[in-house]
Amino acid sequence: MYTIVYHKHATGNYIAKFENQSVLVLQGAFRSITGVSPQSSSGWTEVEKRELSKLGFIVR
């Protein structure tokens, strides 16, 4: 499992950070991939390697 940190942008989308990367993810996609509650505005969650790629992170 990998830990990502996230916060909700003013647009309602999420900015997610993993290692030295940051990505902007549409809110529906982010919640679908991570399972984060719609009420959550910031925090951290654990995801698997394949989910990192789905979110848009470059994984080696």
pLDDT at residue 52 in the model:
97
Query: pLDDT tens digits for 3-55?
Result: 999 999 999 999 999 999 999 999 999 999 999 999 999 999 999 999 999 99
Residues 6+ apart with CB under 8 A from 23: 15, 16, 55, 56, 57
pLDDT digits (tens, 9 = 90+) for 47-60: 999 999 999 999 98
Q: What is the pLDDT of residue 50?
A: 95
Residue 51 confidence (pLDDT): 97
Residue 10: how many other CB atoms lie within 10 Å: 5
pTM summary value? 0.89
